[in-house]
Structure 1
Amino acid sequence: MLFINETEEILQKEVWEKVNQNLLAKMLSEFMYEDMIQPELEDNVYYLQTATGRRYRFKAQKRLFDSFDIKADSVEAFKKDAWQPAVNAIQFLTDIKESIGMSSETAGHLIRELNHTLIADANLMVHHRKEADELTELDYAELEGEMTGHPWITYNKGRIGFGMDDYLNFAPENHNETKLFWIAIHRGRAQFQSVTGLNYEKLIQNELGDEMTRNFSDIVRKYGLNPSEYFFMPVHEWQWKNILIQNFPEDLANKKMIPLEEGTDHYLPQQSIRTFVNMSDKRKHHVKLPMSILNTLVYRGLPSERTVIAPQVTAFIKGIFENDSFLKEECEVVLPGEIASINVDHPYYNSLNGAPYQYNEMLGAIWRESIYAYLKEGEKPITLAALHHEDAYGKPFVHSLIEKSGISANEWMKQFFNVVMPPLLHFLYQYGTVFSPHGQNTILILKDSQPVRLAVKDYVDDVNISDQPFQELSGLDENLKAVLRSEPPEGLTQFIFTGLFICHLRYLSNVLINHNLMEENTFWSYLAEAIQDYQAKFPQLEERFKLFDFFKPELTKLCLNRNRMVDYGYGDGEDRPHASEFGKVRNALYDIKEERIMA
């Protein structure tokens, strides 16, 4: 297929200009936050002179946390002796390239990612027309396909490695269910791990059933080989076609790896693209698979050392939960664990010192407990990312939830913070352990459209521990310590401060402000109250409140766009890139606390 009709339907001039306008406003806003550009304010209008001589102007509302809300239709460029609507995001990138210190190599790769993002945005604009009220009725897995991607990263749907066919087949916004392809991998080439009480046979019986397990065993026997010497594991069709055949030909030739068949279950990809919800039986495990595409800073593989340790991390997190009455009985926090994994190292890349990390993340699988298995009667899960989503007509998803809940926006947000903050704070303060609670990892459980419980997922990539000598961490297995990131106090605090406050809450607050649902100071004061209410409940942890301080005047500013555009570029190093540190961000929670003291 050449996809001529599909591209003509998506790439209409009007649509193209609109998605460019929207992206350009986002670029201006986030580049201002990250101090890459410094427009000048004159008579309530911001002006930016670029290195190429082109001038831009726009209107922006200053927000707390050094943020800006920029109206897309206000962004104009000066050309042909007149101000005209700015409708070319990539032109803007090339205009600022020199002044921000971006190399031509980086700019070239980034143009590609921005074009991919714009095409996806155009597709969303043309095909996603559900109203917010309708979206609140969607199932958790289906709602994920309505989201527009990372709110902070400007190249958020770059997906380098996908062709148009792959995009239409596998991107979550296209709502295509898929079956997983299975292979047999020799046990001498693979590592299987699971939580206590679960073994490989029990897992595969649950995932495949008797008939398919027999079919797969018969395929192995056709080669005169013993099925008991192999693990059966799922792989993504794209990974098989584009990565595994090309990088594991020796294993295929020697029958250490044997292609089997597609499974019968249907799955929907989630926003991360590589995590799949079983739609044939929603209580069956979610599956996380490597897909070696470059998207939002990193290749979307599965780091081998973390894949191996995943069930052990789950046991650690669940152990805290089971022995803590506040988490278990009062918060009733939900912790869908990564209960089994298979990792396969590459025999040659793995032996290289300093090989590009993407080549050590190509083959593995992680099984995670289904969120559906934890729900009580009448409960409905949504990712936090849904809360700052606006429908095609400009109505926020959260506005529809508030209307359906029958309570005020203020009451709804108070409940939200009282659900979300206590368990996250308790893991941090009591146990020196933190998740990365961004919009995809953090799940809000609703009942009657009101927040009632919190769920947190994705431990393998995003659980981190304190480097302080806490008694609660003293018994931690050395293998676990070697893989989990140990962070100093501010570093650990940043996972909540940047991961939740900056990466999610500042966008949610902006939506509420713009739609006259809440005052900005009120929003952040509810967050401050939730933190202080928790601290009042556990005064014995006062020293740790000082250690992990959410009320400091400033914190280090972590930057995601700057990382790719200026600092890291598109280097192919042995480690995954992390957020760049640049300057400080003014902490609105400090100001709120000080105002209360003065009052």
Structure 2
Amino acid sequence: MWRECSAALLAKAIGELCFEGLLTPSGSSDGYELRFDDAVYAFSARRTAFGGWEVRPGSVRRGAPGILGDDVVEECDDVQRFVVDAFRSLGVDPATTAGFLAEVTATLAADVALAATARPAAELVGLPRAELDGHLTGHPWLIANKGRVGFSADDLARHAPEARTPVRLPWLAVHRGLAGFRGTPELSELAVREHELDPATVERFTEVLREAGVEPSAYAWLPVHPWQLDHVVRTLWAPELALGRIVELGEAPDWYLPTQSVRSMSNVDSPERYQVKLPLRILNTSVYRGIPPHCTEHAPVVTQWLRGLWGSDKLVAEWGTQLLGEVASVTVEHPQLARAGGVPYQWLETLGCIWREPVVLGEGERSWSLAALLHVDRSGRPLVLEYVGDTDPAVWFAALLRALFRPLVHFLYTYGITFNPHGENVVVVTDARNVPVRVALLDLVDDVNVSVERVPARGLDPDSDAPVLPRKPWAVLRQYVVDALLVGVFRPLASVYPLAPERFWGMVRGEVESYRARFPAVAGRMEEGSLTCAEFLRYPLNGYRITLGYRDLAARPPVPKTGTVPNPLHDVAPVPPPDGW
């Protein structure tokens, strides 16, 4: 199983590094090859949209000089060996090679654990979303998508999504000299507490504070991830614990499962309660998974602002697009590090929480993370085919575009607002036949961007003394839809979906052209931030880590641009939406 998973990860590594332009294959009689300083990798592959490469697992052969001066060519399934060969040829800093190899190895170990307990796609269809997340294979673009630097093997067995192990959350009481609660107007701190905790638990926690000799009302309460409590709070925050400025209250009774993002936890005992986003000082998928204080502080404000736009838009109501509001939060800044200046960001994001609304389902409805579209079981069966079932594939995909892509285009061009609609940030809601009917969007304060241009329909932005949301020009703003959805989801989906590429991408373009015809007043914005231009800027997610290395930085740096990728929407004939919209 190790070799099987390594061969699959090797194929992905070759394909994605070629897609990002870090490696340039040449054609050979048997397919393609990469020539490094002391090794040659030959493989079979097919080209996909956006200049992508889909390498066939098991097709890779490695050639190297033998001890007698002849070339030795053998089948290769060793992703670790490939990383070292490729990085040596690219001149990557050895420390970066070591860090990346560690992340790749951790990812491979997680893939093996997933494979050992994998279930056929047909058995996954009926799972609740929180459980299904533990069966998904991770980010389709990032090679080391389960690096989780900081987790031990025991930690992974307890806290990784693929472990599928429920945990109870400890709670802390933090003195208001350190902590600040924020909520939407209808939510008080007491209301959140009563929503998340049963009366007996509230009384038990209150008694803990009384026994500690402190006034309960002087403290804000919040959950903490058990790993973070043990590895960060009890060490970095030891003085505050010793002096009673932070008090450990104990565990709440509900059980939670981690989502694909690891740090967000879903309540499996009481799904109507909030999902909780908690900081973890682990490095995973490019950055440390803390929560910046500005995000906890502004999350409810951004939610309330977006709700105002939602409530006044008839099209949003027609599509049923749901906003998973980040309705309450607690911000806790470290009393010393926050004023030190220039401190690496992961040390400033260690404590706090965001409470997020759950998905509300109607009678007979189901839900799953958008990432589920890309899951393929060990037999090669795509999960999406189980969702499609006996529905015509074109009809099913049109329903997905209507539920997902159409609202994103609307928010982008009418309001100058973009989300980050990757697989973890979108929940697809379906009817009883698994046909998409609407989507729910999440990760608002962290991933919402707005146009530099003031858009009348958007009204006043939710700013105080400084901008709360990042402002981007139209050409950059559209890139979130391009990279997260078109490249990150639709590119791999098109490879497994039962539609010809011309039809698949033609239906996507059809939605864009339909919107353009319906709303001519936004034609200028659609030109500046075009989704149908000849090419897009390329933002290399894997190259980001390879270039950046593993040094500590005071802020999350932006992903650098490296060239362009061809746009499959540019030349394809648009296929009008079947609903005539």
Give the shorter-chain TM-score range: over 0.9
Deviation of 1:272 after TM superposition, in Å, equals 0.4
TM-score between both structures, scaled by the size of structure 1: 0.93
Q: Does 1:382 align with 2:368?
A: yes
Q: Does 1:591 align with 2:579?
A: no
Distance 1:595 1:392, change over 3 A: closer
Q: 1:412, 1:234 → 2: CA distance?
A: 40
Mean CA deviation greater in 333-342 or 96-105: 96-105
Q: Does 1:537 align with 2:523?
A: no
Q: 2:465, 2:477 → 1: CA distance?
A: 17
Q: Which amino acid aligns with 1:582?
A: T
Q: 1:223, 1:444 → 2: CA distance?
A: 46
Structure 2 counterpart of 1:440: 424
Please give the secondary structure, in 2, of the residue aligned with 1:588: coil
Structure 2 counterpart of 1:140: 129
Q: Does 1:495 align with 2:467?
A: no
Q: 1:84, 1:526 → 2: CA distance?
A: 43
1:401-451 superposed Cα distances (whole Å, 9 cap, x missing partner): 111xx3211221122112211211111111111100011101111111111
Q: 2:164, 2:463 → 1: CA distance?
A: 42
Structure 2 counterpart of 1:335: 323
Aligned-CA RMSD value: 1.5
Deviation of 1:112 after TM superposition, in Å, equals 1.0
- The equivalent position to 2:162 in structure 1, one of 159, 166, 173, is 173
Deviation of 1:84 after TM superposition, in Å, equals 1.7
Structure 2 counterpart of 1:431: 415
Please give the secondary structure, in 1, of the residue aligned with 2:126: coil
Q: Does 1:102 align with 2:92?
A: yes
1:311-354 superposed Cα distances (whole Å, 9 cap, x missing partner): 011111111100111111x1110111000000100011110221
Structure 1 counterpart of 2:579: none
Please give the secondary structure, in 1, of the residue aligned with 2:570: helix
- The equivalent position to 2:285 in structure 1, one of 261, 286, 296, is 296
Structure 1 counterpart of 2:393: 409
Structure 2 counterpart of 1:528: 509
Deviation of 1:472 after TM superposition, in Å, equals 3.4
Q: 2:387, 2:326 → 1: CA distance?
A: 30
Q: Is the 8 A contact 1:298 1:577 kept in 2?
A: no
1:92-125 superposed Cα distances (whole Å, 9 cap, x missing partner): 1111113323101111111111111111011111
Structure 2 counterpart of 1:571: 551
- The equivalent position to 1:518 in structure 2, one of 485, 490, 499, is 499
Q: 1:519, 1:135 → 2: CA distance?
A: 26
Please give the secondary structure, in 2, of the residue aligned with 1:232: strand
1:493-513 superposed Cα distances (whole Å, 9 cap, x missing partner): 00001111011110111122x
Q: Is the 8 A contact 2:513 2:574 kept in 1?
A: no
Please give the secondary structure, in 2, of the residue aligned with 1:292: coil
Q: Is the 8 A contact 2:8 2:57 kept in 1?
A: yes
- The equivalent position to 1:396 in structure 2, one of 382, 393, 396, is 382
1:23-53 superposed Cα distances (whole Å, 9 cap, x missing partner): 11001100001001111102251011112x1
Q: 2:298, 2:19 → 1: CA distance?
A: 36
Q: Which amino acid aligns with 1:577?
A: P
Q: Which amino acid aligns with 1:579?
A: V
User: What runs of 5+ residues in structure 1 fail to find an aligned partner?
Assistant: 1-14
Q: Which amino acid aligns with 1:452?
A: V
Structure 1 counterpart of 2:29: 43
Please give the secondary structure, in 2, of the residue aligned with 1:263: strand
Q: 1:439, 1:97 → 2: CA distance?
A: 29
Structure 2 counterpart of 1:125: 115
Structure 2 counterpart of 1:4: none
Q: 2:280, 2:501 → 1: CA distance?
A: 39
Mean CA deviation greater in 539-548 or 110-119: 539-548
Q: 2:145, 2:557 → 1: CA distance?
A: 16
Structure 2 counterpart of 1:6: none
Q: 1:444, 1:571 → 2: CA distance?
A: 37
Please give the secondary structure, in 1, of the residue aligned with 2:467: helix
Q: 2:292, 2:237 → 1: CA distance?
A: 17
Q: Is the 8 A contact 2:264 2:278 kept in 1?
A: yes
Q: Which amino acid aligns with 1:58?
A: F
Q: 1:580, 1:254 → 2: CA distance?
A: 45
Q: 2:54, 2:326 → 1: CA distance?
A: 38
User: What runs of 5+ residues in structure 2 fail to find an aligned partner?
Assistant: 577-581
Q: 1:133, 1:481 → 2: CA distance?
A: 50
Structure 1 counterpart of 2:532: 551
Please give the secondary structure, in 2, of the residue aligned with 1:472: helix
Matched pairs, number? 570
Q: Which amino acid aligns with 1:37?
A: L
Structure 1 counterpart of 2:12: 26
Matches within 5 A, 1:70-89: 70-79=55-64, 80=66, 81-89=71-79
Q: 1:169, 1:98 → 2: CA distance?
A: 35
Structure 1 counterpart of 2:405: 421
Structure 1 counterpart of 2:464: 479
Would you tell me which structure has more helix in proportion to its own residues?
1
Deviation of 1:306 after TM superposition, in Å, equals 1.0
Distance 1:480 1:392, change over 3 A: farther
Q: 2:198, 2:8 → 1: CA distance?
A: 48
Deviation of 1:541 after TM superposition, in Å, equals 1.9
Deviation of 1:593 after TM superposition, in Å, equals 4.9
Q: Which amino acid aligns with 2:566?
A: R
Q: 1:176, 1:442 → 2: CA distance?
A: 23
Q: Is the 8 A contact 1:551 1:593 kept in 2?
A: no
Q: Is the 8 A contact 1:313 1:480 kept in 2?
A: no
Deviation of 1:594 after TM superposition, in Å, equals 9.2
Q: Is the 8 A contact 2:58 2:77 kept in 1?
A: no
Distance 1:583 1:473, change over 3 A: same
Q: 2:440, 2:172 → 1: CA distance?
A: 32
Q: Is the 8 A contact 1:421 1:531 kept in 2?
A: no
Q: 2:132, 2:574 → 1: CA distance?
A: 40
Deviation of 1:582 after TM superposition, in Å, equals 0.3
Structure 2 counterpart of 1:277: 266
Percent identity over paired residues: 34
Please give the secondary structure, in 1, of the residue aligned with 2:330: strand
Deviation of 1:580 after TM superposition, in Å, equals 2.3
Deviation of 1:477 after TM superposition, in Å, equals 3.3
Q: Is the 8 A contact 2:305 2:462 kept in 1?
A: no
Deviation of 1:579 after TM superposition, in Å, equals 2.2
- The equivalent position to 1:287 in structure 2, one of 276, 280, 298, is 276
Q: Which amino acid aligns with 1:43?
A: S
- The equivalent position to 1:239 in structure 2, one of 228, 231, 246, is 228
Q: Is the 8 A contact 1:297 1:577 kept in 2?
A: no
1:37-89 superposed Cα distances (whole Å, 9 cap, x missing partner): 111102251011112x1111001111121011110111111245443221211
Q: 1:258, 1:273 → 2: CA distance?
A: 25
TM-score between both structures, scaled by the size of structure 2: 0.96
Q: Which amino acid aligns with 1:425?
A: V
